[in-house]
Chain A
Amino acid sequence: MSAFVQFHDITKTFGGVTALSGVSLSLTRGECHGLMGENGAGKSTLGKVLAGIHKPDSGELVIDGQTHAFGSPRDALAAGVAMVHQELAFCPDLSVAENLCLGRYPRRAGGLLLDHVLMKRRAEELLSAIGVALDVSRPMSELSTAQEQLVQIAAAVGTNPQILVFDEPTSSLSATDADALFLLIEDLKKRGLTLIYVSHRMPELFRLCDRMSILRDGRYVGTLKKEEMTHDAVVQMMIGRSVSDYYPRHLETAPGDTVLSVRDLASPGKFSDVTFSVRAGEIVGFAGLVGSGRSEIAQAIFGLDSRATGRVALDGQPLALGSVKASLAAGVGLVPEDRKRQGCVLGMSCQANISMAILDRVRRLAFLLDRPAEISVSSDYFQRLQIKAASLDAPVNSLSGGNQQKVVLAKWLARGGRLLIVDEPTRGVDVGAKAAIHQLIDELARSGMAVILISSELPEVINLSTRILVMREGRIAGELTRAEATQESVLRFMTGIERSAA
């Protein structure tokens, strides 16, 4: 069989971050081809290059012998490529029919009026083409996630594509809904469509795909045929990154008393049955896929989730949930996941950002800002963390990502406390700053603080943590000691195949 779709040496960068680097891959006509990789491996980006959403910086895309350079999804549609997106994009207040005909409304009366009858009929036809019956006059917002997805698939199939890209279609579906989706996908394959299925869930890839390709750090690693697909083979290909050999020094001292104890923590729709504890001088790593509930737990402990239930205690004292004030008073700090959105006020100076969590301490006469105290505290941490900025007064948006992250860390170091939660501390940070941040976290634990480290980067969690909790779908799927923790053992818990390592 000759190649139907060929990617030649595709490279794509987003503002300095390389998402795809020289990826070459070919698909045969009529197959279902899986794309697998960790978060940030580039699998979704590759799918979006094919669907015309991302324009590659270099490289060539050949479909059926013709070279294409898609500038927009519209170009891709014209060439027969449609995509079912992970995030569903609809106008929630319009009806199903209006959404399905969006942009191509049937008109009457010389183009002045919308032909409602024809629009409804067309929408019903689109849905019945994939074997779905829905009341198309209902507003989109009344539909369940699974139904919304069906509407999206109907819209995509309705463009009569030759190639259909699915980007993590089951990420928000229940098991039964996912099963129905698989039947539909198998049916589409029988009709001769070429399918690309992007996912990090092995069981469904094994079930649906004829072949699957693995990406790692934006590079193509290899392709497996159906008979070669085994869990071990895939994990083997996903790993392979060299693990830096930094040995955390906090391990030299035995952990102290329990600082944080969490029992039966739950939040509807986010996570449930979460029980764990962290002792002084420990770094407890939280591994898991994005959306597995790690950041949500962190925010609940910090008091940002008013719907959280369960028992949380700090140093033996019960902590009221849903109150940032209580969490701060108990000595909890949070370096949040999204540095620019949640971590710092970009337009304000380093000094103002560092002192933001201690404004209640740098005061005099009850309500005046004690500038000398503020400057002395913030310049102290500014120097200690070796933040590279023009001055203490420089606005944070003039700093590099790594230095911005150091400012956020400095904010919480200045406040001190008993427990620090760091969520993705090195995302988008250059190598040098990364090592410095790792060392800093290690030193915090060595000084007797309890630390929770959340990271999507396996080498980071495995290397830095005293022990590791692995989250999957809102629950703690397993706990690993430092000795047990390898990329393979963590990945097994993360992806849901809990066979013991061979």
Chain B
Amino acid sequence: MSQPTSAKPAARRSLAQEVGLALVVIVLATILAGYGWHDAAPGRPNTFLNFDNLVDGVATPMSYYAIMAVGLTVVIITGGIDISVGSIMALAALGGATALQGLPLDAPAWQVLPIAFAVPLLIGLVCGLVNGALIVGLNLHPFIVTLGTMSIFRGLANVLPAQKTLPAAGKRLPEAFTTDFMRLEFFGIQPLPLIIMLGCVAIGWFYLRLMIAGRETYAVGGNEEAARFSGLRVNAIKLRTYALSGLCASIAGMVSLGRFGTASTSTGTGYELTVIAAAVVGGASLAGGKGTALGALLGTLIIALIENGILILRLAQEYRLIIIGLAIVVAVALERLSHHLRQRRASR
């Protein structure tokens, strides 16, 4: 498929897109703040624009999605897709819970934290490598492969743990990981999920913009054949992106485990759709070659604002799916439209 023929530098085009997304965020926030001001009881704070809502209602819930959206964006840039992320998240969280529940409640941080990080991340890495190996090694379509592994990983999450929810009844995870780490309070908020999210976005930005691996990712997605003819190791590059996506999903699982102190067989169910939506709203093109880490963050933020808006506006929760769905379709339609306009302008 031919790309737009505007002579604008590629980097500036993606910046323009990010500015556009930021504008959408501002517009949404302004509308919600206006309603929140109107809706607040006299003398009470704005129902949207208050610290508690912004952190607990928007930022913290979106952190899982944003972390996964960064990994998925890298996959989408290569022209692939990974819909197994929700299941990987569950498997990673359950794996972490299994490893941690054996430790005493007051085990020291130096003992707890390495396990709390390493076990979920290792599980995510292995799951991602399995996805990548099937896609690259057997030359199968990524949608089909991850549709299969989504089911398989979820099934493993159902079968492997002894209970549906971990840790087992009467047990609790060591506080060094939960209360004293993931739920650590600073000025009345629990910033760790946010910090980890921003860290993942920063690493994603670093990977895509500064590392050779990032350039290779865009090249494979832009034209796999030309990348191969330029001597790039296309298979290794693709394998790497699925490993990254698995890793991101497991980080989300780890954050969720630490925050809630539990993991269940249904952790992350249905997350893949929200994450794909976030990546696509954030400007990643399913045709490959386009997408940024910052876009993934902004795309997730837009979806989080919409979800929070449903609460603020006191709309029935049943409308949530419809509104999210509309957001995806509108985002893609806008992208097509701007593509079309650019082409018209370029041809004149």
Q: Which residues of A approach B to under 8 Å, CB–CB? A: 302, 304, 324-325, 328, 334, 336, 341-349, 352, 356-357, 359-360, 362-363, 367-369, 389-391, 393-395, 397-398, 411
B219 near A345 (CB under 8 angstroms)?
yes
B215 near A352 (CB under 8 angstroms)?
yes
CB pairs A–B below 8 angstroms (11 shown) = A325-B233, A341-B226, A346-B223, A347-B289, A348-B222, A349-B10, A352-B219, A367-B211, A369-B214, A395-B3, A395-B7
Say whether, besides A363-B212, A367-B211, A369-B210, A345 and B6 are in contact (CB < 8 Å). Answer: no
Say whether, besides A390-B7, A398-B6, A345 and B227 are in contact (CB < 8 Å). Answer: yes
A356 near B10 (CB under 8 angstroms)?
no
Interface string of B32-44 (1 = CB under 8 A from A): 0000000000000
Docked CA distance A316–B290 (Å)? 43
Decide if B188 is an interface residue (CB 8 Å cutoff): no
A393 near B5 (CB under 8 angstroms)?
no
B346 near A398 (CB under 8 angstroms)?
yes
Contact of A346 among B3, B216, B231 (CB under 8 A): B3
Closest-CB distance, B85 to chain A (whole angstroms): 25
Contacts of A362 in B (CB 8 A): 212
Interface set, chain B 33-77, CB cutoff 8 A to A: none
Number of interface residues of B (CB under 8 A): 34
A394 near B223 (CB under 8 angstroms)?
no
A369 near B212 (CB under 8 angstroms)?
yes
Contact of A342 among B4, B216, B225 (CB under 8 A): B225
Docked CA distance A348–B226 (Å)? 12
Interface string of B186-213 (1 = CB under 8 A from A): 0000000000000000000000001111
Closest-CB distance, B79 to chain A (whole angstroms): 12
Contacts of A411 in B (CB 8 A): 230
The winner among A328, A347, A389 for most chain B CB atoms within 10 A is: A347
Q: Which residues of B approach A to under 8 Å, CB–CB? A: 2-12, 210-216, 218-219, 222-223, 225-233, 289-290, 346
Docked CA distance A344–B228 (Å)? 10
Closest-CB distance, B284 to chain A (whole angstroms): 13
Contact of B10 among A348, A359, A360, A367 (CB under 8 A): A348
Say whether, besides A344-B223, A398-B5, A398-B7, A357 and B231 are in contact (CB < 8 Å). Answer: yes
Say whether, besides A325-B231, A346-B2, A347-B222, A395 and B215 are in contact (CB < 8 Å). Answer: no
- Chain B residue, CB-CB nearest to A337: B229
Contacts of A389 in B (CB 8 A): 7
B10 near A393 (CB under 8 angstroms)?
yes
A393 near B11 (CB under 8 angstroms)?
yes
Closest-CB distance, A361 to chain B (whole angstroms): 10
Docked CA distance A341–B215 (Å)? 19
Docked CA distance A357–B229 (Å)? 9
Docked CA distance A390–B11 (Å)? 14
Name the 5 nearest CB pairs between A and B, nearest first: A393-B9, A345-B222, A390-B7, A347-B3, A398-B7
B10 near A352 (CB under 8 angstroms)?
yes
Contacts of B3 in A (CB 8 A): 346-347, 395, 397
